[in-house]
Amino acid sequence: MTGTARRGSAGRSGHPGDPGGAAPPRDADTANGGSPELSGRIPRLLRAMVTIGGDVELHTLLDRVTEAAAELVGARYIGIGVLDEEGGIGELVTRGVEQEVMERLINLPDRDRRISAMLENPRPVLMDDMTEDPRYGGLPGPDGVPAIRSLLGAPIRVHGAGFGGLYLGDPRPGVFTRDDLQICQILATETGIAIGNARLYEAVRQRARWMDGSAELSTSLLSGDGDNALAVVAEQARRLADADAGLVLLPDEAGGLVVVAVSSTEPMGLIGAEIPPGGWANELLLSGEPAFVEHTEDDPWRFTHLAGRYGPNMLLPLGSDGKLIGVLSVPRAPGAPRFTFAERAMATQFAQQAALALLLTEARRDREQLAVYADRDRIARDLHDLVIQRLFATGMLLESAGRAAGDPRLAARIGKAVDELDATIQEIRTAIFALQQGPEEAPTGLRTRVLRETGTAARSLGFQPSVSFVGPVDARVDDLIAKNMIAAVRETLSNVARHAGASRVEVTVDVTEPLPDGRAAVRLTVTDDGVGLPPEGTGRRSGLVNLRRRAESLGGGADYGPGPDDRGTSVRWWAPLE
């Protein structure tokens, strides 16, 4: 066979094709077997080739190759290694190597250099003493004695590309022959074909998995409510990438990136974590380019409390048409396998698909919100143009009937009905105002803030308080008074919820009634139909004292008394408008 290394009687080693040769050749055909023995091993070799070719899972395939090599050649030690895409050690399977020897090899400072030198060698190897070759050295055994001396090896190649190598050490009995080398080369060739098929199968399976995951994500986002869309993206990315965590980060005003959604078995300390501005990863991501982290010194978390928590990491921009939504990060644990080129490409496509789905979800949510606003506007117009006008007309009819009534008691009852209609009209106007406010609008005006406060109190009260406004409260009340009034509303409603046992609460804010000295004022009245005034010294009265102090700090005051018809309690709070 061409390119076969020959060994000299002095035990020196050589490589096929090395210039000058290393030693006088030894006749391998006459040493422990020849071609007749090779012919006898062919049936077993064919069976082994069929077995090897039927595996598509890489690690199982390598195990079967070592088993076949042990049976066909009879070496004490067998090792098979596969290079990764970057020329590093992807897979390494051994047979017959004691645990102590493996630990010594793992702890060698030049371990990767020695193994890579063997796996990258493009030629078959047949040598008596591998310790004499500086590229290999001896595999260290106990007390520094080399564990393996004789070496037989063949490169694993497919279509001219190096995949790795198959190596056998120390035959038993005797020495390696050229027949052994031929068997090793045939196994290596078949292994290369099988590895190529296994990698192709894995690439197809992985691509299908990512495509299914992207489709599932899009369906989930577009059919759901979108409230937890970022968390869904993080979870799906973590699962597809076999990562330790999935993180979604959003840009902040300072140019950093802040974690806002997490999928992890250990999420502690992740939400709110920030990649500081100015790093290489930030610059890439904010420009729309992905960033891939392989080494600790490149880790964008290295100056944060997450330093050392993760190993290989993909940071992928979530953007579409030049609009950056955020960043998707899928880190693996320290020491985990690096992401392959195929994984990087598929994850980048997934991030693009996720960004598009997020934008479509946001657009759908905006359309739905606009539809809600349009419906609210229609309801508000109907209430104003139809309901209020009818109630107003009914009130005028009742007032006219009251003036014409001869019975004073009947006139009083009609007057009370008119007052109820006025109160109802005021509540409807308040409802119209609430309908015109977006649920996510900032509560800048006093009206909006009071409505937000009463809406919050409804959860503890068990019902929605009635709210009415008299006069242009937003235009007349400044921020300082509004802040104190909101605190008064909150404290009063909290007291009602804890102590009053009420079934109805009315909140009124009025800027039309002046103080006795003629100054303009804002008045807050909270009336409930509960158990009435509490005894002196109770918590509810203490809360009322706090209200008075708050009002007096503004030049106003507060008091309380029985509600209408001596039922419940009415709390009054006022402050001058300056």
Question: Which DSSP category does 386 fall into?
Answer: I
Do residues 77 and 157 both lie within one domain? Answer: yes
Do residues 36 and 167 both lie within one domain? Answer: yes
Distance CA 37, CA 519 (A): 119
Do residues 136 and 258 both lie within one domain? Answer: no
* pLDDT at 194 (0 to 100): 84
* pLDDT at 330 (0 to 100): 92
Do residues 466 and 524 both lie within one domain? Answer: yes
Residue 546 belongs to domain spanning:
442-578
Six-digit token pair at 134? 């500086």
Do residues 262 and 191 both lie within one domain? Answer: no
Q: Go through the chain and tell me how many residues it has.
A: 578
| 123: CATH | 3.30.450.40
* pLDDT at 23 (0 to 100): 35
| 555: CATH | 3.30.565.10
- Domain-located, residue 418: no
Q: Please state whether 21 falls in left (phi above 0), alpha (psi between -120 and 50) or beta.
A: left
- Domain-located, residue 19: no
Do residues 184 and 278 both lie within one domain? Answer: no
Distance CA 212, CA 135 (A): 46
- Domain-located, residue 500: yes
Do residues 36 and 154 both lie within one domain? Answer: yes
Distance CA 234, CA 314 (A): 12
Do residues 174 and 272 both lie within one domain? Answer: no
- Domain-located, residue 263: yes
Do residues 456 and 319 both lie within one domain? Answer: no
Last residue of a domain, one of 301, 334, 356: 356
Contact 311, 335 (CB under 8 A): yes
- Domain-located, residue 561: yes
* pLDDT at 444 (0 to 100): 62
β-strand partners of 574 = 523, 557
Sheet holding 257-264, edge to edge: 274-275, 257-264, 245-251, 323-331, 313-320, 291-293
Do residues 157 and 86 both lie within one domain? Answer: yes
The number of C-alpha atoms within 13 Å of 518 and in the hemisphere containing its C-beta is 0
Question: What's the structural domain count of the chain?
Answer: 3
Do residues 73 and 198 both lie within one domain? Answer: yes
Do residues 160 and 255 both lie within one domain? Answer: no
Q: Determine the 3-state secondary structure of 262 from DSSP.
A: strand
Residue type, 323: K
**pLDDT averaged per 10 residues, the chain (length 578):** 32 36 35 56 77 74 84 82 70 68 51 58 76 60 59 80 80 79 87 82 87 85 72 90 90 83 84 82 79 77 80 88 84 86 90 86 79 78 78 83 81 83 77 63 71 86 88 88 90 85 91 91 93 61 75 92 86 91
